[in-house]
């Protein structure tokens, strides 16, 4: 691609502790789609390259939505008075079973991808459903958006109605291998597969073992759910009485490693925290979902302090919106609620930490992404904050208001790994 530069006002992090605010600066995207850094002015060696003028606006690396269920898109905002297990049985499984119908899948996945591509999200880790054809269709749609995504065909052969449950481990594994072969043949540039055991109760011991072997063999990343709800945890204990913990069940099957995303992690024991840390696995915090279906509050500040990898997810449709600005606000809000309710709790999340989790925290799962540091993939989201801010406002103010007032509709332009990833341009 042609190298180009953005002239604007940049907000990004260099690790969880450093927020960089760079007004009236220039970020360069090299021909390989990598960022060369943020400069006070265009370096001489880049004289003559295309310079896009976004000085009115602010530019951020974009948000990474590290946990969402594409097959639940239509259910956003429905069933918000139920808790996890009832919500799965009454609302979620019936909706997901609809995706055996490819016309339905095309309609819904078209809406989802349009929604994702218009907003703050640059990268995502996505669950589809237990349907191979619909998952491939979703991947085709996502590839067109320009976003970088990981997509998992969901494995579930136990404890679900026949309408959505796969008949046994052998079938589930064979379908998964077939799906992976088809994905390979498609040669996607931006859309990659991720091994996706739904959660421990949905998977027979043979399926967990087979998926762990598959992940080991292929080196593919893994995503699942962990310690979301107290009844769920008790259920896992009964299903696996000889395992020391819920996290240990994944670990015993080779499913916990540095390329693993575990959604929720609200009730991790000290042993589970230590195991997650040792394996280098990621905690995906989903505060909108955790509040809606009353799962609880994950102690994210504690996890950050422990040095666990942390990031954020919309978890639609436990979560009610794809708008990561809302997820960030709730991450900050629930963390403060936890601090207020529990005097022993160390501290609460700052806006900067939540922003870090949404950008670099999630981006690091893709390699070097989610920041404008040199060598990072050039992801940039241009945000029109002029509805409430003025150019003369301090960058500190623009950052705080981005956090508290940001919404997807403010996005005016978007690049992922240097490629334009939005239809609307100013
Ligand atoms: N645990 C197992 N499946 C699901 C799901 O679809 N959503 C959430 N939030 N938790 C789950
Ligand atoms: Fe989920």
> For ligand 1, atom 3, which residue shows the shortest CA distance?
198
Residue 424 has pLDDT above 80, yes or no: no
Residue 260 has pLDDT above 50, yes or no: yes
Residue 179 has pLDDT above 80, yes or no: yes
Residue 426 has pLDDT above 60, yes or no: no
Any ligand 1 atom below 6 A from CB of 371: no
Any ligand 1 atom below 6 A from CB of 320: no
The residues near 285 (Cβ < 8 Å, ≥ 6 apart) are: 264, 265, 298, 300, 310, 311, 312, 313, 331, 357
Adjacency order of strands within the sheet including 35-39: 35-39, 19-29, 4-13, 50-60, 380-383, 411-416, 419-420
Query: Cα 160 vs. chain centroid, distance in angstroms?
Result: 25
- For a mutational test of ligand 1's pocket, the pick from 88, 95, 153, i.e. the residue with the most ligand atoms closer than 8 A to its C-beta, is 88
Any ligand 1 atom below 6 A from CB of 289: yes
Residue 12 has pLDDT above 90, yes or no: yes
Percent of the chain predicted with pLDDT > 70: 99
Give distance in angstroms: CA of 91 to centre of ligand 1. Answer: 11
Which pLDDT score, from 0 to 100, does residue 391 have?
80
318-333 residue pLDDT tens: 999 999 999 999 999 9
Report the distance separating Cα 148 and Cα 286, nearest Å: 20
Number of H helices, E strands in the chain: 15, 17
422/225: higher pLDDT: 225
* 423: confidence class by pLDDT, cuts 50, 70, 90: low
pTM, entire model: 0.98
Residue 56 has pLDDT above 80, yes or no: yes
Which pLDDT score, from 0 to 100, does residue 181 have?
98
Atom of ligand 1 nearest to the CA of 202: 2
135-167 residue pLDDT tens: 999 999 999 999 999 999 999 999 999 999 999
The residues near 55 (Cβ < 8 Å, ≥ 6 apart) are: 7, 8, 9, 24, 391
- For a mutational test of ligand 1's pocket, the pick from 157, 165, 225, i.e. the residue with the most ligand atoms closer than 8 A to its C-beta, is 225
Average pLDDT score over residue span 297-321 = 97
């Amino acid at each position: 691609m042609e190298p180009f530069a953005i002239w604007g006002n940049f907000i990004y992090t260099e690790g969880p502790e450093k927020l960089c605010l760079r007004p009236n600066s220039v970020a360069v995207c090299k021909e390989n789609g990598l960022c060369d850094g943020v400069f006070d002015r265009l370096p001489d060696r880049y004289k003559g390259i295309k310079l896009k003028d976004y000085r009115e606006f602010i530019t951020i690396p974009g948000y990474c939505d590290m946990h969402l269920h594409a097959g639940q898109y239509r259910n956003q905002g429905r069933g918000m008075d139920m808790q996890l297990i009832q919500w799965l049985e009454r609302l979620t499984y019936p909706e997901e079973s609809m995706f055996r119908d490819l016309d339905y899948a095309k309609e819904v996945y078209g809406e989802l991808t349009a929604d994702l591509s218009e907003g703050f999200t640059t990268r995502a880790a996505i669950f589809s459903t237990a349907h191979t054809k619909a998952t491939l269709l979703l991947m085709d749609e996502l590839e067109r958006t320009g976003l970088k995504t990981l997509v998992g065909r969901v494995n579930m052969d136990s404890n679900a109605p026949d309408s959505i449950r796969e008949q046994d481990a052998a079938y589930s594994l064979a379908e998964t291998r077939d799906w992976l072969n088809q994905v390979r043949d498609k040669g996607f540039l931006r859309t990659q597969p991720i091994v996706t055991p739904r959660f421990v109760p949905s998977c027979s011991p043979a399926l967990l073992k087979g998926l762990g072997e598959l992940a080991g063999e292929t080196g593919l990343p893994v995503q699942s759910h962990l310690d979301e709800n107290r009844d769920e945890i008790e259920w896992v204990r009964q299903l696996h009485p000889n395992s020391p913990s819920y996290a240990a069940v994944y670990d015993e099957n080779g499913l916990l490693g540095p390329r693993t995303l575990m959604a929720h992690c609200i009730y991790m024991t000290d042993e589970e925290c230590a195991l997650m840390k040792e394996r280098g696995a990621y905690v995906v915090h989903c505060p909108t979902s955790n509040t809606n279906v009353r799962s609880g509050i994950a102690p994210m500040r504690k996890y950050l302090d422990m040095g666990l990898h942390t990031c954020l997810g919309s978890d639609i449709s436990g979560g009610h919106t794809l708008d990561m600005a809302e997820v960030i606000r709730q991450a900050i809000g629930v963390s403060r609620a936890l601090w207020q309710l529990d005097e022993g709790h160390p501290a609460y999340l700052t806006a900067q930490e939540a922003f870090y989790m949404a950008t670099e925290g999630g981006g690091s799962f893709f390699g070097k992404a989610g920041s404008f540091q040199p060598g990072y993939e050039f992801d940039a989201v241009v945000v029109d904050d002029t509805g409430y801010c003025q150019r003369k406002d301090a960058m500190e103010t623009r950052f705080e208001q981005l956090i508290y007032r940001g919404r997807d509709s403010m996005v005016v332009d978007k690049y992922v790994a240097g490629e334009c990833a939005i239809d609307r341009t100013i």
